[in-house]
Amino acid sequence: MPTIDTQAVDRQSRLDRELARRRPSSRFRYAAWVAWVALAILAMELVGGPVYLVVVIVSGLAVWVIVEPRRPGRTAPSPRHELVVMVALYALVVGLLAVAFQGFGTEHTVGLFLTFGLALVIGVAGPVYYTVWVQHRPLADLGLTWGNRRRTVLLALLFAGVQFSITLTGYDLPRPVEWVPLLFMALVVGVFESIFFRGFIQARLQERWGDVPGVLAAAAAYGAYHVGYGMGVTEMVFLTGLGVVYATAYALTHSVAVLWPLLTPLGSFFAQLEGGDIELPWASIAGFADVLALMLTVLWLARRRIRRQAQVPDKSRQSEVPLPEREGHPTHDLAP
């Protein structure tokens, strides 16, 4: 019968207690990440391009090393086809955007808008269908939840306020026809980006690979998807850094409400104003309203299906519980 080295056990126990004593409190961790996101948004006024990406990654990793306790790797199982679905939807969305903006272009307005709108709708309908109809998981797994409502609202106002202070404060807006349609576009695109990149891609990559790899991979996907709009490498590298910031903000609440309808639409709206390369007529508002209506219809159908499933007891519906919340698979988030 093997003997137990009691002295080694005692030493390990003392070491564990010492590490626990030195481990930052959850409130300190939370405050550190909130401050980092706010400062990273402010940094956009000082640096851009590849430099911004480097600043974001280096500072973010520094905060991670300082405030995050050492955790075991994730053990939550992920379906093999999940990654295939993510890649397929991503390729389809980016391909449609490339057809819209680089194929049709502004010379073929109808084709551009129809293809652009289709990409946005698929970017919402695809993740919702896969999550609710295929995986039998709730819409909360796509970030479509308030979480802690008070915390989410406060963070949304804080981050949007910081963004507004460095972009639109004192900005002389042009004629309404030159900016109101752009604002509507930013709001609708923001719905797509929040659900597709944060609630779908980021959340599942974090489940599959862990927090840091998942956030970085989702941010890279976010930056690279702008190739569909015809953006250059420098712009996409900058947007990858911004994607890390948005991903961290999302991880604080696991709710897309921390990003939309304030933070991400504000950034997109300002970028379109500064770029000045997109001119939209008043009629485009009706088109974007139609796209938004289709998105909301998909969400309504998904919610109705979830309610119907809830009325039918079925042991197989245990899979509807979000994977990170199941026993043995603790959620690794940044919230206290």
Q: Give the alpha-carbon dihedral of 65, 210, 299, 98, to 10 degrees.
A: 90
pLDDT at 271 over 60: yes
Rounded to whole angstroms, the Cα distance separating 221 from 177 reads: 33
Percent of the chain with pLDDT over 90: 74
Read off the tokens for 300: 């309504």
In angstroms, how far is the first alpha carbon of the chain from the final one? 44
What local confidence, expressed as pLDDT, does residue 15 receive?
Answer: 46
Q: Would you say residue 21 has pLDDT above 60? A: no
* 75: number of Cβ within 10 Å: 8
Instruction: Return the exposure string of 13-41: e unless at least 16 CB atoms fall within 10 Å of the residue's CB, then b.
Output: eeeeeeeeeeeeeeeebbebbbebbbebb
Q: Determine the pLDDT at residue 79.
A: 78
pLDDT digits over 40-90, tens only? 999 999 998 999 999 999 999 999 999 987 655 554 667 788 999 999 999
- Name which of 248, 299, 281 is nearest 124 in CA terms: 299
Q: What is the pLDDT of residues 118-160, one digit of tens each?
A: 999 999 999 999 999 999 999 999 999 988 899 999 999 999 9
228 pLDDT higher than 80: yes
Instruction: Round the CA-based radius of gyration of the chain to a whole number and report it.
Output: 22
Distance CA 266, CA 258 (A): 13
Q: What is the mean pLDDT of residues 106-122?
A: 94
| Per-residue pLDDT, 329 | 39
Give the chain's mean pLDDT: 87
Q: Is the CB of residue 309 less than 8 Å from the CB of residue 320?
A: yes
pLDDT for the residue numbered 106:
83
| Structure-model confidence comparison of residues 302 and 309, the more confident one | 302
CB atoms within 10 A of CB 283: 10
Q: pTM value? A: 0.86
Residue 12: pLDDT above 80?
Answer: no
Measured distance CA(310)–CA(323) in Å, rounded: 18
Band of residue 23 on the pLDDT scale cut at 50, 70, 90: low
Average pLDDT, stretch 89-109? 95
Residue, of 244 and 27, whose pLDDT is higher: 244
- State how far the Cα of 93 lies from the Cα of 312, in Å rounded to an integer: 35
Residue 166 has which token pair?
Answer: 């460095």
Tell me, what's the pLDDT at 29? 93
pLDDT of residue 327: 39
DSSP H/E element including 240: helix 233-253
**Beta carbons of 60 and 36 less than 8 angstroms apart:** yes
**Mean pLDDT, residues 89-113 taken together:** 95
Distance CA 44, CA 49 (A): 9
**pLDDT at 225 exceeding the cut of 80:** yes
Residue 2 confidence (pLDDT): 45
- Among 22-26, 133-137, 166-170, the minimum mean pLDDT is found in 22-26
More confidently predicted of 146 and 97: 97
Tokens of 159: 């981050």
Please count the CA atoms within 13 angstroms of the CA of 266 that sit on its side-chain side: 23
Interval 273-302 mean pLDDT: 94
**Predicted pLDDT at 335:** 59
Confidence of residue 19 (pLDDT cuts 50, 70, 90): very low
Lowest mean pLDDT across 4-18, 114-128, 175-189? 4-18
131 within 8 A of 141, measured Cβ to Cβ: yes
> Distance between CA 241 and CA 309 in Å, rounded?
40
Q: Which of 7-16, 145-154, 246-255 has the weakest average pLDDT?
A: 7-16
The pLDDT assigned to 147 comes to 84
Q: Is the pLDDT of residue 3 over 70?
A: no
Per the omega criterion (within 30 degrees of 0), is the bond before 261 cis?
yes
pLDDT at 334: 66
